[in-house]
Every structure is written in structure tokens, then in C-alpha cells.
Amino acid sequence: MEGQEEPQPEEGVLKLAEIKIKKPEEPPLTEVLPIKNARPLTEEEFNQLLEPFKEGLKKLYPSQVEDVYGVFGVGEKNGNKVFMVGAVIWKHYGVPQPYTSTFVALFENNQLQKISFLEAKRNYWDWRTLIKMHKHEFHTEELFNYFQQLKEQIIAQSQGNQNNPSEGDKK
């Protein structure tokens, strides 16, 4: 309606499209392992990695990745390295609909160095190995589990919205 303000999401709730997701408790990263210099990635740092992520995917998978539509995830920075767990929406050459893939990635000097997709049968790097290999530099297992919780909430919420459309969807 005209003149009405858009309601703001509640504190600690992320809004994707029309899906409200309660943000899980932050992982107690500093209480798990005393990993020197590892800290959560800021939103600004995450956004600065989007273009290198897109370029890196096209470079690593030139015959498959036509475009990258979006990325969301969580990450941690330690010096010039970033460890990220997330999901990417991308377009495959010759396929009309986009794919969504869950990934584990490592950046060095703002360049995508390694990426592994959980759904893929063949990867350059195994995602489990990446998590184990970098657990002394980052809180890899905690980041992975935290992202999986977020992903499960998104799926549950979107399935709930399909079964119970909001008032705005009913006509």
C-alpha cells in the first residue's frame, strides 16, 4: 500500500527473497581452537571476493561455467588467506536452468586457489581433505557445520513457504 513502510526484518534474521531465516548462533570460533590470527570474514571482505570467485571458477572450469549469478556463504580470514564455505548459483554452458552448488574454497591474495563442490563426483580437490588440511589455519569444521545449519534452515523455510503461501501470495 502507498505510504506504508516496508517492515524491517527482526534482529538476527536474514531475509532472502520472502524467506525469513533465523540466524543460528555464531560458532564459538575463538573457544574451539586458539588459531592465531584467524577471524571471521566481514561482509565487505566477502563482497570483495565475489569477482575473484567468478573469475576463478571460469578459469578452473572454462568448459562448464558460463556465468555466476550469486554466491552466499561464511568464511574466515588468516593473513592473506581466506577459507570459505558456501553456495553458488551458476550457469552451465548449454543448460537453460542454473545450478546451485555447495562449495568449500580457499583464496590466497584475493585469488581463488582451490574449490571443491560437495555435489560433484570429480573435483580437483576433495572437500573433506580441504577441511582437514586447513584446520590448523582456520576453524574449517565449525564454518562447515555453521553453513550447513544455515542451508538446512533455508530449505526448510522455503518448503514451508511453498506449503503455506504468505497473505501477499494469495489472490
Please write the tens of the pLDDT for every residue from 97-152: 999 999 999 999 999 999 999 887 776 678 888 999 999 999 999 999 999 888 88
Q: Is residue 168 part of a domain?
A: no
User: Is residue 93 a contact partner of residue 61, using CB atoms and an 8 Å limit?
Assistant: no
Parent domain of 90: 39-157
- Tell me what the mean pLDDT of segment 18-42 comes to: 62
pLDDT number for residue 88: 94
Q: Is residue 2 part of a domain?
A: no
Instruction: Give the ranges where 91-139 is alpha helix by DSSP (H).
Output: 127-133
Q: Is residue 19 part of a domain?
A: no
Q: Is residue 16 part of a domain?
A: no
Q: Is residue 34 part of a domain?
A: no
pLDDT number for residue 150: 86
Q: Which of 13-17, 23-27, 111-115 has the lowest mean pLDDT?
A: 13-17
Provide the domain count of the chain: 1
Q: Is residue 18 part of a domain?
A: no
Q: 2 Cβ partners below 8 Å, 6+ apart?
A: none
Q: Looking at the predicted structure, is the pLDDT value of residue 42 above 70? A: yes
